[in-house]
């Protein structure tokens, strides 16, 4: 597939690199320096290049939205016409100080995105995992016990595309339901971050969902 990365920081930089190494065509966009985008693309290999948000969006099968909540409107407006576009969003609706969610409980950032960009097909994914674990999970993707990753959305086809990308990144996709389930996954992402960075066991905790098999 052709993937446009909107926001090439910790999440967008790593996921874009992973998708390029998994064989997709990737355009990295939206960083404060063009040099950084060019370096990211070079390091990601022959399937990747640097561009503007409009270039990343042009002909893309799917867009990865990976910016701070305060930059969402800017990058999506730069991307251009979003009608019928699949947007996989890992962006959490955090306040400026990153101390709390600005949309929560009775709605979610993902639903707010769908409201602001009504033609777009939004899937919420990858926001429940710290970026630090992404390369490790990708490198271990042949391992039969792959970590689970939650996603949700209202568009069946867009969710199928997102599930494929989640598999390509080395996770097992877990369909958490419609987009409104992001009301629960977004606060859950903060719990994961709390455990990962303020506990003593590190980011790998984030993807350790265990399956409980019935005892013999």
Ligand X SMILES: NC(=O)c1ccc[n+]([C@@H]2O[C@H](COP(=O)([O-])OP(=O)(O)OC[C@H]3O[C@@H](n4cnc5c(N)ncnc54)[C@H](OP(=O)(O)O)[C@@H]3O)[C@@H](O)[C@H]2O)c1
180 binds ligand X (CB under 6 A): no
30 binds ligand X (CB under 6 A): yes
The torsion angles phi and psi of 29, rounded to 5 degrees, stand at -140, 170
Q: Which is nearer to ligand X, 60 or 190 (CB)?
A: 190
Distances (CA, A) of 99 to 76, 96, 105, 111: 24, 8, 16, 21
124 binds ligand X (CB under 6 A): no
- Hey, what are 180's tokens? 């409104």
Which residue in 19, 69, 117, 171 binds ligand X (CB under 6 A)? 69
Q: Provide the minimum distance between the beta carbon of 178 and ligand X in the complex, in angstroms, as a whole number.
A: 20
Q: Which stretch binds ligand X (CB under 6 A): 26-34, 138-146, 158-166, 174-182?
A: 26-34
- Hey, what are 214's tokens? 């019935």
113 binds ligand X (CB under 6 A): no
Number of chain positions touching ligand X (CB under 6 A): 24
90 binds ligand X (CB under 6 A): yes
The sign one gets for the Cα dihedral 157, 158, 164, 170 is negative
Residue closest to ligand X (Cβ): 9
Contacts of 213 (CB under 8 A, 6+ apart): none
Which residue in 2, 39, 58, 68 binds ligand X (CB under 6 A)? 68
Distances (CA, A) of 34 to 40, 51, 61, 88, 127: 10, 8, 23, 23, 25
4 binds ligand X (CB under 6 A): no
Contacts of 201 (CB under 8 A, 6+ apart): 195
Q: Provide the minimum distance between the beta carbon of 187 and ligand X in the complex, in angstroms, as a whole number.
A: 12
């Amino acid at each position: 597939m052709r993937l446009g990365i909107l926001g090439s920081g910790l999440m967008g930089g790593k996921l874009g690199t992973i998708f390029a190494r998994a064989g997709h065509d990737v355009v990295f966009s939206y960083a404060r320096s063009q040099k950084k985008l060019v370096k990211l693309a070079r390091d990601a290999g022959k399937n990747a290049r640097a561009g503007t948000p409009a270039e990343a969006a042009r002909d893309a099968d799917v867009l990865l939205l990976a910016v701070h909540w305060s930059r969402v409107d800017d990058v999506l407006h730069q991307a251009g016409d979003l009608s019928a576009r699949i947007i996989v969003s890992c962006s959490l609706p955090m306040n400026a100080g990153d101390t709390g969610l600005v949309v929560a409980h009775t709605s979610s950032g993902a639903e707010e995105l769908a409201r602001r960009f009504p033609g777009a097909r939004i899937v919420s994914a990858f926001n429940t995992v710290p970026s630090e674990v992404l390369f490790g999970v990708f490198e271990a993707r042949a391992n039969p016990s792959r970590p689970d990753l939650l996603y949700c959305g209202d568009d069946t086809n867009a969710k199928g595309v997102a599930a494929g990308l989640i598999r390509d990144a080395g996770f097992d996709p877990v369909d958490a339901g419609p987009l409104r389930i992001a009301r629960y996954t977004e606060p859950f992402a903060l719990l994961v971050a709390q455990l990962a960075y303020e506990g003593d066991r590190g980011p790998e905790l984030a993807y350790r969902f265990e399956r409980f098999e019935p005892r013999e």
